[in-house]
Structure 1
């Protein structure tokens, strides 16, 4: 059992989400940086889809009422516990130990994997907190207690430390969107010619950007149509929004492009004030 002494700015339980329900209006949700959650689980011998804790800008304090193996990945944070520990490596917390997680030096989201996984109840097959629909457990608050699942039958912990994560690409790769014909040629060029700044309004639904306005070649609005994670929607303001894990299944603004799936973890780690660039790419054969 884990007791939340302080959740930090925003903390939730996340796994790999609930795919397959978009036709019912249910977002997939799940970890915004799924690669980081998968790594945290591998480090403690869990299946990659086990539920962990997603911390937004660190700042959490957790008490482990039972001993547990844990690992933290994603945005690097200073850690304080009963002994010196670091990121991207499994370590043991004895019963009663308190884990303090500071603010990240870079990036935004940090993931705590616990051997056995966070064993809150499932909703539609997932333990993920969906900030848009309200499905899943409530965001963590002081006094929340989280059960840990059984460890019997799990793979042994076989890794001392994960290799360093590759540096993010200097520019996010973008595939042409299904509605790129709604934009002027100048706007298609401008998306990748100028940097955009991440605004304070960004969240798990989408990263809102500020920069060169993208002008449309058509007037009017689209009927709602299906959306995917990484879609770059452009509302009438011309300021793009990159959809993240809790994005709605449908949307009515035209999609100028879609961020390549391999670059979505980099999008999830963008913090307000960061600058981001895009570059056009083509699908692999």
Structure 2
């Protein structure tokens, strides 16, 4: 059996795929990769279906040993990576020999790296997905030293990889939003959210939500102190709690929430939100 042995997990390493849709009525959200575009790219590089599970690594520090030769790819955050002590590239196809060690250094740009292995991480699925949902407590436990992750059978018909859509890192993170269902609860709420002043991610951010610091979004006098019955939430919902500082929900968001939703981030920008490091700036714009 081909497998990957975890020698050190780093800050946090999770098995993730594209999630488990269809269980919100049971209180279980979709979850999945916080930056699904990066996981799709890593899977594409090793000729996997996009739905195959990989490893999501927060900041870096992951050390793996190959139990059998494996083909892997790294996408997402930027930073150093070594195979048996030799520097290797990201967004590229990498061969790790039997017994070889892959080490991820600390990310220098972005927050989350995705490792895909040809054949996928073949841990048992839960509700149709191999994703770890930190909020619902569903799926595999966070990786720990000594874990052995089985690798699935590689695809039999390997396509040629002639072009990989490798994203560039922008100088300024600009995120498009649509008006949310409760925009009328706020005094110029969308104008405040999309002002040039922008926001910064706080250290309290995680897979559940990116919590922001910046201009306070004020309620209208009519909505001041008003209560809202719990309503369904989606990834990218921009909720405004009583302190007026936006919270942008991510992959492990709750299925319902009780604070008004001012706006919703376009799905194409969820990956950019997931890669924000504490203290980094983000600016919102109304989607055309």
- TM-score, reference length from structure 2: 0.94
The counterpart of 2:69, out of the listed 67, 70, 88, is 67
1:77 aligned residue (71, 76, 79): 79
Moved more, 115-124 or 141-150: 141-150
Q: Could you tell me which residue of structure 2 aligns to residue 118 of structure 1?
A: 121
Question: Which of 15, 38, 52 does residue 13 from structure 1 map onto?
Answer: 15
Q: Report the 3-state secondary structure (helix = DSSP H, G, I; strand = E; otherwise coil) of the residue aligned with 1:105.
A: strand
CA offsets 1:71-123 (integer angstroms, 9 cap, x no match): 00000120111344200011111100000100111000000000000000000
Partner of 2:56: 54
What secondary structure, in the 3-state scheme, does the structure 2 residue paired with 1:127 have?
A: coil
Say if 2:47 and 2:155, in contact at 8 Å, map to a contact too. no
Q: Aligned match of 1:36 in 35, 38, 49? A: 38
Moved more, 105-114 or 189-198: 189-198
Matched, 1:101 2:107: no
Q: Specify the alignment match of 2:29 in structure 1.
A: 27
Gaps of 5+ in 2: none
Separation in 2, partners of 1:135, 1:84 = 35
Q: Are 1:203 and 2:209 counterparts? A: no
Structure 1 Cα separation of the partners of residues 173 and 62 of structure 2: 30
Q: Is contact 2:131-2:139 (8 Å) kept?
A: yes
Aligned to 2:106, what secondary structure does the other structure show?
Answer: coil
Give the Cα–Cα distance (whole angstroms) in 1 for the partners of residues 234 and 213 of structure 2: 21
Spell out the pairing of 1:87-166 with structure 2 (5 A cutoff).
Answer: 87-153=90-156, 155-156=157-158, 158-159=160-161, 162-166=164-168
- 2:8–2:145 Cα contact (<8 Å) kept: yes
Distance 1:214 1:94 in 2: 54
Partner residue of 1:257 out of 254, 263, 276: 263
- SS of aligned partner of 1:39: helix
Kindly tell me: are residues 98 and 146 of structure 1, through their superposed partners in 2, closer, same or farther at Cα, counting changes over 3 Å? same
Partner SS state of residue 273, structure 2: helix
Structure 1 position 152, deviation (Å): 4.8
Compared CA separation, residues 228 and 71, structure 1 to 2 (3 A): same
Q: Give the 3-state SS of the residue equivalent to 2:32 in structure 1.
A: coil
Match of 1:274 in 2: 280
Contact kept in structure 2, 1:51 and 1:128, CA below 8 Å: yes
More strand per residue: 1 or 2? 2
How far off is 1:34 after superposition? 0.2
Whole-Å separation in 2 of the counterparts to 1:56 and 1:240: 23
* 1:162 CA displacement: 3.0
Match of 1:232 in 2: 238
Number of aligned residue pairs: give it: 280
Partner of 2:89: 86
CA RMSD in angstroms comes to 1.4
